[in-house]
Amino acid sequence: MPVFKINDKRSGYKLIGAMMPPWVHIYMTLYSLAKGTTKSKIITKLLEEWMEQEPEYAILIEKLVNRLVLKWNAIKSSKLDITFTEYIKDVERELIAKGIPENDVKTIIKKTEQYEKNKKTRTT
């Protein structure tokens, strides 16, 4: 029988994997055992505190769109043989594979496409 087992299965939660240096792992393990809590609860609390200090969700979406536009501009400059449509499909697949909700993926794609459309309108 495990002495330190904490039964804490939560439906609707997602597993986040992270590689940590050994000293962080040891400290978290000791801390969780000493406090009688789980590493998940420790990390969740830390992330929630961090998220309160970071940009809002909509701002993160905009920053991601800007990053995607810059990446597309770099691809165009490098003369790689890829169309914007192919690029957008790749982006969509990667966002879905990373677990981004479908509504957010659609928003990101729409905003990226709109930026490219506006850019073409300004240059013609």
pLDDT digit string (tens) for the chain, length 124 residues: 555 655 666 777 777 888 999 999 999 999 999 999 999 999 999 999 999 998 899 999 999 999 999 999 999 898 788 999 999 999 999 999 999 999 999 999 999 999 888 876 666 5
Interatomic CA distance for residues 33 and 44, integer angstroms: 16
Write the CB contacts of 116 (distance below 8 Å, at least 6 apart in sequence).
Answer: 69, 72, 84
Q: Give residue 14's pLDDT.
A: 79
pLDDT at 55: 85
Model pTM above 0.75: no
Confidence (pLDDT) at 36 = 94
Q: Which residues contact 65 (CB under 8 A, 6 or more apart)?
A: 108, 111, 112, 115
Strands (E), the chain: none
* Structure tokens that stand for 39 in this block: 């590493």
Q: Provide the pLDDT for residue 120.
A: 67
How many C-beta neighbours within 10 Å does residue 65 have? 19
pLDDT of residue 37: 94
pLDDT at 1: 52
Q: What is the predicted pLDDT for the residue at 11? A: 73
Q: Kindly list the distances between the CA atom of residue 5 and the CA atoms of 8, 17, 30, 37, 124, in Å, as whole numbers in the listed order.
A: 9, 20, 14, 10, 66
Question: What is the pLDDT at residue 81?
Answer: 87
**CA distances (Å), 94 to each of 27, 40, 97, 105, in order?**
34, 26, 5, 10
